[in-house]
Structure formats: structure tokens, C-alpha cells
A and B are shown apart, each in its own frame.
Chain A
Amino acid sequence: MEKILADKLNERNRLVSLPFEEKLTLLEKMRDRSLLIQRPTVVTVSGAAVEFEELHAHSQARHSVPSSPCPRPPPPRRG
């Protein structure tokens, strides 16, 4: 554990001592990575998990009553 912490500290010290130009390159990379994570992802739902009509009804309710929370559809019944 101490070695891990020491390595981290060394890495942070290395980053601090980098020339500003190199730090900016890192900033640009970090920014791009963050923006990539932040982008809305396409959610795919299998047809077996959610019945289409139910999903549609919830979608309609969400549009018609924006302030009301949209309840999650019940889990599919088994057996």
C-alpha cells in the first residue's frame, strides 16, 4: 500500500513539473475524454424486457405531465 501511495505521489510530482505546453496537451485529452463520457448514450432495451405498449404509455405520460415522475415499468413476470 505504501508503495502504491509513493508511486502516486511521484506521478503527481512528475505532472506538476511538466512544461505548461505538455500539461495543456494532457488537459485537452482529459477534456475530450470527459466530453465523451458526458455525451448521451443510446439505450437499447430488449423487447423481452419491456413491452412496447407500456413503454409508449410511459413516454406519453412523461410528455403530457412533465412535472410528474415517470414510474419504472414493472419487471416482466416469470413462469
Chain B
Amino acid sequence: MKETQNTLTVINKMRDAGIFGNYAIGGAVAATFYIEPTSTYDIDIFIPFENVPGSSLVSLDHIYNYLIPLGYKSQGAHFIIGGWQVQFLPAEDDLYKEALLQAVEIQVGGVKTWVMTAEHLMAIALRTGRAKDLIRLEQFVRYNKFDTKKLNEILERHSFVEKWQQFNDKYIRSSK
């Protein structure tokens, strides 16, 4: 856990330095907060979306310019921080923005950090829909690690009700 603590400490320093605003951990590491651990190479850090004027791309220059002079290495889309490959992802649509805003504050060995709620992770997994996302989704259901009312509200707000019903029909009801 020491490595993760070190990683989060650096990310918190970046936040304090104004490199980005609030952040939230998403993906497999965030899901592990609620369900069983699954192997992953990286930590997904969602940060507020800031559009570069005149471009549809998100600039990671400020992150690069902060980390590289401090000796951190970049590898493809990742930065190597404290033993983890860290990917900074923009919370670029309404679902991610909401997930970022409503992230839960937790402590990891005394280091403060934020993880997305179980319900937002489920909605994101449902939308992304890769095999590993569906497995994750099934685990949330199996271990009953979510608030049905909250999830339904999110699914309705972001128009995923039909998709959720399809998922339930295919993977949940059929296995009972």
C-alpha cells in the first residue's frame, strides 16, 4: 500500500499546486474500494475538463510540465508515479462531471483522496460496456454494493435505463 500512498501524495500535491482542481479515482482501483480486487496496471485519475482554446483536445501540458522536471517519467498515456502508471483523464461529459463532483472522500493510510461512488462507477461501466466492465457491474450487483435509488436516479438522468434493463435481462435475471 506504500506505493499507492506515495502516488496519492504526489497527486494531492499537484492538486494543491493548482495543476488541476478536485480529482476522483475511477476505474478498477476505485471499484476495488467496493468490490473484490481485480488486477490492473494503472490508476485512472479523473480531473476537471479544461478545453484548450481553439482545440477540441485537452491539454496535459501543465501536468507534464509539473511532473517531468521533478523527475517523473511518462510512458505512453501514463505517468509513472510511486510505482503506478497514472493516467489523467478529463471528466469531459455530464456523467463524468457528476461522478467527479460527487466523489467520496476517503483515507488511504492517512492520505486523503477521493473515489467515485459505486453508483457512478456502475453507470460508467454500463456505458463503456467492455467485457471487464460487465464483470465489474455483475460484481456490484452480486455483492449488493450500491444504493438502488441513487443508481436509478443516475441511470434516468443519463438515459441508461434501457441499457440497464438489457444488462439485467442478459446477465442477472438469467443467472438466477
Contact = CB atoms under 8 A, between A and B. Distances in A.
A55 interface: no
A35 B145 CA distance: 30
B37 A27 contact: yes
A15 interface: yes
Interface residues of B, number: 21
B29 A27 contact: yes
Interface in B22-42: 28-29, 32-33, 35-41
Given A25-B1, A28-B1, A28-B3, A15 B41 contact: no
A27 B40 contact: yes
A12 interface: yes
A16 interface: yes
Q: Tell me whether chain B's interface is mostly helix, strand or loop, or mixed.
A: loop
B108 interface: yes
A39 to B, nearest CB: 13
Contacts of B29: 24, 27
Contacts of A25: 1
A24 B83 contact: no
B37 A21 contact: no
Interface in A26-42: 26-28, 30-31, 33-35
Given A27-B29, A28-B3, A21 B39 contact: no
B109 interface: yes
Contacts of A28: 1, 3-4, 83
A26 B36 CA distance: 10
B118 to A, nearest CB: 12
Given A23-B36, A31-B41, 8 more contacts: A21-B1, A21-B108, A26-B37, A27-B32, A27-B40, A31-B40, A31-B84, A34-B39
5 contacts: A16-B36, A20-B33, A23-B33, A23-B36, A26-B37
